[in-house]
Amino acid sequence: MRQLILYLFIITSAISQAQVNYGTPSPETPLPEVINKLERKLLVEHFPKVNHPVQIESNYYWKHATVIYSKEGPVTIVEFGAYLYYNDQWNLRQQYPIKDFDKFFGTKNEQLLQGQPYVWTENWRVGDSLFGGWALWYFIGLTPEGDRICGYQTIHTTSNLLTSKN
């Protein structure tokens, strides 16, 4: 019996250590290193900012759109991706291949024109598990003068499932 209790204690301890603390980022949470020292000159927004899932068959969809906008002048995007917030820090979720930028945002040669909003209308989170969290989308661009600039914005996904009201 003593060995069984010890075994259960070890398994319970291991499981509790492996759990992820999703939490909520604060204004003092350090930005990811890749954008930390860059000037924030690109506007990035998500709609809706707080995103509730819908269920379609066995998957959950957090449907939202992402817009990027340059008010300064033309900018060529050279990197973009998303971080997830857990364990009290931003953790890289995915850095996308730059060739996907035109397809997602409808640009040509990864270039943002001044004053033109570009929208990825189906920037959806999809999964078979229902849980909320925070993401930070980032974009790094080059100005015609060769300056590296960035834009970023957070989005909050919840576990509050939207249900149909028939």
- Residue 166 within a domain: no
Task: With beta carbons less than 8 A apart as the criterion, state whether 48 and 63 touch.
Answer: no
- Residue 48 within a domain: yes
- Residue 126 within a domain: yes
Query: What domain count does the chain have?
Result: 1
- Residue 2 within a domain: no
pLDDT at position 1 is: 56
- Residue 65 within a domain: yes
- Residue 10 within a domain: no
E strands of the chain, at which residues?
Answer: 39-40, 42-47, 50-51, 54-56, 59-62, 65-70, 75-86, 89-95, 111-112, 118-120, 125-127, 133-142, 148-157
pLDDT tens-digit map of 23-44: 999 999 999 999 999 999 999 9
What the block records as the tokens of 147 is: 């300056």
- Residue 9 within a domain: no
Instruction: Find the mean pLDDT for residues 53-68.
Output: 96
Domain of 55? 22-157
Instruction: Decide which of 10 and 102 is more confident.
Output: 102
pLDDT tens-digit map of 62-115: 999 999 999 989 999 999 999 999 999 999 999 999 999 999 999 999 999 999
Kindly report the CATH number assigned to the domain that includes residue 124.
Answer: 2.60.40
DSSP 157: E
